Structure 1
Amino acid sequence: MRAAATTPNPSKSSLRFVALAIAAASLVGVALFQRGPDPAFLPEMAPHPVVMQDGRMLFSQRYEVTVAEWNRCALDGECDLTLRTRPDQDPATTPATGLSYVDVKQYVEWINTKSRHDFRLPTAEEWDAMAAAVLPHAPAPVFSDPALSWASTYLVEGIAPRALKPQGSFSTSPEGIVDLDGSVWEWTMECYDGQSNGTPAESCPAFFVGGEHIAAMSFLIRDPARGGCAVGTPPAHLGMRLVSDKPIG
């Protein structure tokens, strides 16, 4: 009479090894999946890059960061400021304004983590290159007397409307960047300290903002009308636009 066949039971160590192997494979799969940018957090970029004088390409956000985009950062607890709109404004198309340089840096850090792509603010030179085709040329002075130069400046500044308008209300650059000539001045990463030796960003008291004329704002100012301006006429609104040194994808 033949003995009944038996199936050997796997040892506990074998089962543990299999479980660890499955877990390791899962982690590798997740890591591979997360290697690329996350589309859920990527902003809409302009269809064409800006070609700088040195030949490098700069990739710019098509529109300024909106209230809806900003508040995703606030809901995550990574941006201290929560923005609100009037009943007649759509958060999805209203530029995020009332932002200090400190606020903007919080958003940049958050979006880089969430999107898994490297974004930053433009330099003042980069912003000028982005806006060169849509900004008005400097008008001729009203008075030729040097003693009245202040009056000429006063009378010819303020071409852009100061009311906050939804995205798409102003010009579009040849690269497809929208509203660079609008009523929102955009923070740059370039320090203004009245010196030429280059102060580190973490020690900088003020930064240039891009708009219809040159201006520099204290890094803590959210409302330029109340906080004053380090250089130039105070901007109407302070907002932001992201740029990147590499294309998305």
Structure 2
Amino acid sequence: MKFYFIGGLGSNKNHMTEFASYFPFPITYLDPYRVKLESAKDLVDWFEAHADSNENTCIIAHSLGGDLARYLASKMPQITRLVLLDGGYLDMDQILPLEQEIEETLAYLKQQVFSSLEEAVASELGDTDNPSQATVKAIQSSYRWNPDLHHYELDLDPQAVLSLLRVRRELRSFQAPLTDTKALFIGPKYEDEPDWRTRALENLDPSIKKVLLKDLSHDFYTAVPNLVSKEIINWLQICS
């Protein structure tokens, strides 16, 4: 079986480094944020261009990556296993209008500018004690130097990002049937769940095994990569 990882918006392969070190199988990182995907067909074509279609496949995907992965699994028979890391289950139209999401995303991209990589790392880590080298490298790799404006900015093409946000709405992957794909959902369990997330979790397809982990944030796979790896391996063994 081939294993692929699709991260969330703004992530890069370094975010997966520690998880991959615990995961017992080779896993290939795929980055959909470097290309402009404007339709469901573009998404399928992109995956076919980067993945081996001759073997059974498992996609592990985080956040927005989970939305993309769930749609792919519903369309491509070689994807027989799917792991959603807090993604692929939300109806974004029930959370906020697309126009507001686009406006807030553009504002965020404009705000994330720094005079140095050290400043960018400090901003993202906040009060985190003893961050791993992989975490620091992942943050550093998320930024690029803009020689015209003399600052570091997120290494993302705003137009590609906005296009992908539009495509996500069109995919409606939270409704995508997984008839021939076994799926696992892992997400954080918050003490005070927003109503929209509570409803979404309650409406999660019952065929998808659900695991909720306490005292963790949305990016939990970078915080407890060993635990996430164990959960996935145990599930793979059960459904093999």
TM-score computed with the length of structure 1 as normaliser: 0.25
The structure with the greater share of residues assigned to helix is 2
Larger radius of gyration: 1
The structure with the greater share of residues assigned to strand is 2
TM-score computed with the length of structure 2 as normaliser: 0.26
